[in-house]
Protein backbone atom coordinates (compact mmCIF):
# COMPACT_ATOMS: atom_id res chain seq x y z
CA UNK A 1 0.00 0.00 0.00
CA UNK A 2 1.10 3.61 -0.47
CA UNK A 3 1.73 4.05 3.27
CA UNK A 4 5.10 2.38 2.66
CA UNK A 5 6.19 5.63 1.00
CA UNK A 6 6.45 7.11 4.51
CA UNK A 7 9.05 4.59 5.76
CA UNK A 8 11.51 6.38 8.02
CA UNK A 9 9.58 9.66 7.89
CA UNK A 10 6.91 9.50 10.61
CA UNK A 11 7.09 10.13 14.34
CA UNK A 12 4.70 9.11 17.10
CA UNK A 13 2.29 11.91 18.04
CA UNK A 14 2.12 10.59 21.61
CA UNK A 15 5.83 10.41 22.50
CA UNK A 16 7.83 11.66 19.51
CA UNK A 17 9.66 8.39 18.89
CA UNK A 18 10.10 7.20 15.28
CA UNK A 19 7.22 5.18 13.88
CA UNK A 20 7.95 1.84 12.24
CA UNK A 21 5.57 0.76 9.50
CA UNK A 22 4.17 -2.72 8.95
CA UNK A 23 1.44 -4.25 6.82
CA UNK A 24 -1.33 -3.03 9.13
CA UNK A 25 -0.15 0.38 10.28
CA UNK A 26 2.58 1.81 12.47
CA UNK A 27 3.98 1.53 15.99
CA UNK A 28 6.79 3.03 18.08
CA UNK A 29 9.19 1.52 20.60
CA UNK A 30 7.13 2.92 23.47
CA UNK A 31 4.24 0.67 22.44
CA UNK A 32 1.92 3.19 20.82
CA UNK A 33 0.03 1.66 17.90
CA UNK A 34 -1.81 3.23 14.94
CA UNK A 35 -3.76 1.07 12.51
CA UNK A 36 -4.05 2.06 8.88
CA UNK A 37 -7.52 2.69 7.49
CA UNK A 38 -8.74 0.45 4.68
CA UNK A 39 -8.33 3.39 2.27
CA UNK A 40 -4.59 3.36 3.05
CA UNK A 41 -4.17 6.47 5.22
CA UNK A 42 -2.86 6.69 8.79
CA UNK A 43 -4.75 8.77 11.36
CA UNK A 44 -2.30 10.43 13.78
CA UNK A 45 -4.63 13.22 14.89
CA UNK A 46 -5.29 11.71 18.31
CA UNK A 47 -8.91 12.84 18.44
CA UNK A 48 -11.86 14.02 16.34
CA UNK A 49 -11.16 16.31 13.43
CA UNK A 50 -11.92 20.00 14.09
CA UNK A 51 -15.06 21.68 12.85
CA UNK A 52 -13.20 23.61 10.16
CA UNK A 53 -11.81 20.49 8.48
CA UNK A 54 -12.87 19.99 4.87
CA UNK A 55 -16.14 18.09 4.60
CA UNK A 56 -16.91 15.34 2.05
CA UNK A 57 -18.75 17.78 -0.27
CA UNK A 58 -15.84 20.25 -0.06
CA UNK A 59 -13.33 17.52 -0.84
CA UNK A 60 -15.41 16.30 -3.78
CA UNK A 61 -15.68 19.85 -5.17
CA UNK A 62 -11.90 20.34 -4.82
CA UNK A 63 -11.23 17.05 -6.59
CA UNK A 64 -13.41 18.13 -9.53
CA UNK A 65 -11.73 21.54 -9.76
CA UNK A 66 -8.24 20.05 -9.72
CA UNK A 67 -9.19 17.37 -12.24
CA UNK A 68 -10.42 20.13 -14.58
CA UNK A 69 -6.86 21.45 -14.94
CA UNK A 70 -7.73 24.83 -13.45
CA UNK A 71 -4.61 24.83 -11.28
CA UNK A 72 -2.21 23.03 -13.62
CA UNK A 73 -0.10 26.19 -13.93
CA UNK A 74 0.46 26.09 -10.16
CA UNK A 75 1.56 22.45 -10.30
CA UNK A 76 3.93 23.29 -13.15
CA UNK A 77 5.49 26.12 -11.14
CA UNK A 78 6.03 23.82 -8.16
CA UNK A 79 7.54 21.09 -10.33
CA UNK A 80 10.16 23.47 -11.71
CA UNK A 81 11.52 23.96 -8.18
CA UNK A 82 11.65 20.26 -7.22
CA UNK A 83 14.51 17.91 -8.09
CA UNK A 84 14.12 14.19 -8.70
CA UNK A 85 14.87 11.83 -5.85
CA UNK A 86 13.62 14.19 -3.15
CA UNK A 87 11.38 13.51 -0.17
CA UNK A 88 8.37 15.84 -0.01
CA UNK A 89 6.00 16.81 2.81
CA UNK A 90 2.78 18.32 1.43
CA UNK A 91 1.20 20.14 4.38
CA UNK A 92 -2.53 20.71 4.09
CA UNK A 93 -2.30 18.37 1.12
CA UNK A 94 -6.04 17.79 0.79
CA UNK A 95 -6.82 15.16 -1.84
CA UNK A 96 -3.11 14.62 -2.53
CA UNK A 97 -3.43 16.05 -6.04
CA UNK A 98 -0.50 18.46 -5.89
CA UNK A 99 1.83 15.86 -4.37
CA UNK A 100 0.77 13.28 -6.95
CA UNK A 101 1.53 15.70 -9.79
CA UNK A 102 5.00 16.29 -8.39
CA UNK A 103 5.62 12.56 -8.08
CA UNK A 104 4.47 11.98 -11.66
CA UNK A 105 6.98 14.59 -12.81
CA UNK A 106 9.79 13.23 -10.61
CA UNK A 107 9.76 9.41 -10.76
CA UNK A 108 12.38 8.89 -8.03
CA UNK A 109 10.67 11.14 -5.45
CA UNK A 110 8.33 10.12 -2.65
CA UNK A 111 6.22 12.04 -0.17
CA UNK A 112 3.69 12.41 2.62
CA UNK A 113 0.39 14.27 2.24
CA UNK A 114 -0.73 15.60 5.63
CA UNK A 115 -4.19 17.04 6.21
CA UNK A 116 -6.58 17.37 9.15
CA UNK A 117 -9.56 16.19 7.05
CA UNK A 118 -10.37 12.48 7.10
CA UNK A 119 -12.44 12.72 3.87
CA UNK A 120 -9.42 14.29 2.18
CA UNK A 121 -7.09 11.57 3.48
CA UNK A 122 -9.38 8.87 2.12
CA UNK A 123 -8.62 10.19 -1.36
CA UNK A 124 -4.97 11.04 -0.72
CA UNK A 125 -4.29 7.52 0.54
CA UNK A 126 -4.96 6.14 -2.92
CA UNK A 127 -3.73 8.93 -5.16
CA UNK A 128 -0.21 7.64 -5.91
CA UNK A 129 1.90 4.60 -4.93
CA UNK A 130 4.75 6.85 -3.76
CA UNK A 131 2.49 9.10 -1.65
CA UNK A 132 1.48 8.30 1.92
CA UNK A 133 -1.52 10.03 3.51
CA UNK A 134 -1.57 11.08 7.17
CA UNK A 135 -4.32 12.78 9.17
CA UNK A 136 -2.82 15.38 11.51
CA UNK A 137 -3.19 19.01 12.54
CA UNK A 138 -0.89 21.28 10.52
CA UNK A 139 -0.89 23.86 13.35
CA UNK A 140 0.38 21.38 15.94
CA UNK A 141 3.66 19.50 16.20
CA UNK A 142 3.80 17.56 12.96
CA UNK A 143 4.16 13.75 13.32
CA UNK A 144 7.10 13.90 10.92
CA UNK A 145 10.73 13.24 11.77
CA UNK A 146 13.23 16.07 12.05
CA UNK A 147 15.54 16.78 9.14
CA UNK A 148 14.12 14.02 6.92
CA UNK A 149 12.54 16.07 4.11
CA UNK A 150 14.05 17.90 1.16
CA UNK A 151 10.94 19.90 0.23
CA UNK A 152 7.83 21.14 2.03
CA UNK A 153 4.90 22.23 -0.12
CA UNK A 154 2.00 24.23 1.27
CA UNK A 155 -0.74 25.22 -1.18
CA UNK A 156 -3.38 27.53 0.32
CA UNK A 157 -2.80 25.78 3.65
CA UNK A 158 -1.66 26.59 7.22
CA UNK A 159 1.95 27.74 7.40
CA UNK A 160 3.60 26.28 10.49
CA UNK A 161 6.99 27.84 9.77
CA UNK A 162 8.78 26.52 12.86
CA UNK A 163 7.71 22.95 12.08
CA UNK A 164 8.59 23.32 8.41
CA UNK A 165 12.11 24.30 9.45
CA UNK A 166 12.36 21.39 11.86
CA UNK A 167 11.42 18.65 9.39
CA UNK A 168 13.55 19.99 6.51
CA UNK A 169 17.16 19.08 5.91
CA UNK A 170 19.71 21.93 5.84
CA UNK A 171 19.26 23.88 2.59
CA UNK A 172 15.81 22.29 2.12
CA UNK A 173 13.06 24.25 0.37
CA UNK A 174 9.62 25.33 1.50
CA UNK A 175 7.35 26.12 -1.46
CA UNK A 176 4.43 28.23 -0.21
CA UNK A 177 1.51 29.07 -2.50
CA UNK A 178 -0.62 32.06 -1.52
CA UNK A 179 -3.47 33.77 -3.42
CA UNK A 180 -2.85 37.24 -4.82
CA UNK A 181 -5.55 39.93 -4.78
CA UNK A 182 -6.43 39.14 -8.42
CA UNK A 183 -7.12 35.47 -7.65
CA UNK A 184 -10.64 34.56 -8.84
CA UNK A 185 -11.40 38.28 -8.45
CA UNK A 186 -14.35 38.46 -10.85
CA UNK A 187 -15.98 35.41 -9.25
CA UNK A 188 -15.41 36.74 -5.74
CA UNK A 189 -16.78 40.19 -6.63
CA UNK A 190 -19.88 38.86 -8.37
CA UNK A 191 -20.79 36.34 -5.69
CA UNK A 192 -19.81 38.40 -2.65
CA UNK A 193 -17.22 35.88 -1.50
CA UNK A 194 -14.54 36.27 1.15
CA UNK A 195 -11.87 38.73 0.08
CA UNK A 196 -8.11 38.16 0.00
CA UNK A 197 -6.61 39.61 3.16
CA UNK A 198 -4.37 42.64 2.80
CA UNK A 199 -0.72 42.29 3.75
CA UNK A 200 -0.45 38.52 3.29
CA UNK A 201 3.01 38.79 1.75
CA UNK A 202 4.36 40.97 4.54
CA UNK A 203 3.00 38.61 7.19
CA UNK A 204 4.58 35.63 5.49
CA UNK A 205 7.99 37.31 5.34
CA UNK A 206 7.77 38.43 8.98
CA UNK A 207 6.90 34.90 10.06
CA UNK A 208 10.21 33.49 8.78
CA UNK A 209 12.04 34.64 11.96
CA UNK A 210 15.44 33.73 10.54
CA UNK A 211 14.37 30.12 9.93
CA UNK A 212 14.22 30.62 6.16
CA UNK A 213 15.67 32.88 3.51
CA UNK A 214 13.19 34.09 0.90
CA UNK A 215 14.85 33.06 -2.39
CA UNK A 216 12.20 33.92 -4.97
CA UNK A 217 8.56 34.79 -5.57
CA UNK A 218 7.03 33.42 -8.76
CA UNK A 219 3.73 35.02 -9.77
CA UNK A 220 1.53 32.54 -11.60
CA UNK A 221 -1.27 33.85 -13.82
CA UNK A 222 -3.65 31.63 -15.79
CA UNK A 223 -7.01 32.65 -17.33
CA UNK A 224 -9.93 30.46 -16.32
CA UNK A 225 -13.14 30.29 -18.33
CA UNK A 226 -15.31 28.54 -15.75
CA UNK A 227 -18.70 27.14 -16.70
CA UNK A 228 -21.49 27.13 -14.12
CA UNK A 229 -20.49 23.77 -12.61
CA UNK A 230 -16.83 24.73 -12.24
CA UNK A 231 -17.70 28.15 -10.81
CA UNK A 232 -19.93 26.48 -8.20
CA UNK A 233 -17.16 24.04 -7.30
CA UNK A 234 -14.61 26.86 -6.91
CA UNK A 235 -16.89 28.30 -4.26
CA UNK A 236 -17.79 24.98 -2.65
CA UNK A 237 -14.22 23.72 -2.22
CA UNK A 238 -12.99 26.53 0.03
CA UNK A 239 -13.85 28.48 3.19
CA UNK A 240 -16.85 30.11 1.53
CA UNK A 241 -18.55 26.73 1.98
CA UNK A 242 -18.64 27.50 5.73
CA UNK A 243 -20.14 30.95 5.22
CA UNK A 244 -23.54 30.04 3.88
CA UNK A 245 -23.01 30.70 0.18
CA UNK A 246 -25.82 28.88 -1.61
CA UNK A 247 -27.86 29.18 -4.77
CA UNK A 248 -27.28 28.97 -8.49
CA UNK A 249 -23.97 30.18 -9.90
CA UNK A 250 -23.43 31.23 -13.50
CA UNK A 251 -20.28 30.69 -15.51
CA UNK A 252 -17.58 33.34 -15.32
CA UNK A 253 -14.33 34.38 -16.98
CA UNK A 254 -11.83 34.74 -14.17
CA UNK A 255 -8.15 34.20 -13.38
CA UNK A 256 -5.94 32.00 -11.22
CA UNK A 257 -3.47 34.44 -9.68
CA UNK A 258 -1.09 33.16 -7.01
CA UNK A 259 2.43 33.60 -5.71
CA UNK A 260 4.76 30.64 -5.30
CA UNK A 261 7.24 31.60 -2.58
CA UNK A 262 10.56 29.77 -2.56
CA UNK A 263 12.03 29.69 0.94
CA UNK A 264 15.36 28.05 1.68
CA UNK A 265 16.40 26.73 5.04
CA UNK A 266 19.91 27.83 6.09
CA UNK A 267 22.51 25.19 5.31
CA UNK A 268 24.15 24.84 8.71
CA UNK A 269 23.38 21.94 11.01
CA UNK A 270 19.95 20.71 11.96
CA UNK A 271 18.99 18.14 14.56
CA UNK A 272 18.11 14.74 13.11
CA UNK A 273 16.26 12.03 14.97
DSSP 207-227: TTTTS-EEEEEEEEEEEEEE-
Confidence of residue 248 (pLDDT cuts 50, 70, 90): confident
- Would 102 be classed as within a structural domain? yes
What is the structure's pLDDT at 2?
82
Any idea which of 6-10, 35-39, 55-59, 237-241 has the lowest mean pLDDT?
237-241
Confidence of residue 197 (pLDDT cuts 50, 70, 90): confident
Task: Give residue-wise pLDDT tens across range 151-188.
Answer: 999 999 999 999 999 999 999 999 999 999 999 999 99
* pLDDT at residue 120 tops 60: yes
- Would 117 be classed as within a structural domain? yes
- Would 201 be classed as within a structural domain? yes
- Would 8 be classed as within a structural domain? no
What is the domain extent for residue 133?
Answer: 40-264
What is the secondary structure of 227-243 as a DSSP string? -HHHHHHHHHTSGGGGT
What is the structure's pLDDT at 192?
84
When comparing pLDDT for 148 and 191, which is higher?
148
Burial class (CB in 10 A: 0-12, 13-18, 19+), 164: buried
- How many whole angstroms separate alpha carbon 180 and alpha carbon 200? 9
Q: Looking at residue 88, which CATH number applies to its domain?
A: 3.40.50.150
Domain count across the chain: 1
Cβ atoms of 132 and 25 within 8 Å: the answer is no
- Would 25 be classed as within a structural domain? no
- Would 29 be classed as within a structural domain? no
Amino acid sequence: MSLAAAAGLLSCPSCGNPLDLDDLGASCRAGHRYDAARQGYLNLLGGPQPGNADTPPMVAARARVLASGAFDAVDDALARRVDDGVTIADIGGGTGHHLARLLETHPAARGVSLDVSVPAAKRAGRVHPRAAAVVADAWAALPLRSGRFDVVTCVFAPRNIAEFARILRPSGLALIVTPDKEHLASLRAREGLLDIEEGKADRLLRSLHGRFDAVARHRVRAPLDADAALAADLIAMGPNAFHGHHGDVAGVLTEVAVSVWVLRRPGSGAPHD
